[in-house]
Amino acid sequence: MATSASATNIANRSINRTIFRWIHIVFSIPMLGYIYSPFEKLPSYAFKTRYVFVPIMIVSGLWMWKGHVVRRLFLKRSTALLRRAA
The yes-or-no verdict on residue 4 having pLDDT over 80 is no
Axis-axis angle for helices 5-36, 54-85 (nearest 10)? 150
Q: What pTM, to 2 d.p., does this model score?
A: 0.70
The full set of domain ranges for the chain reads 5-85
Output the pLDDT for position 2: 54
- Across 56-60, 71-75, 82-86, the highest mean pLDDT is recorded for 56-60
pLDDT in tens, 15-72: 888 999 999 999 999 888 888 888 887 888 888 888 999 999 999 999 999 988 888 8
Output the pLDDT for position 54: 93
Q: What does the radius of gyration of the chain's CA atoms come to, in whole angstroms? A: 19
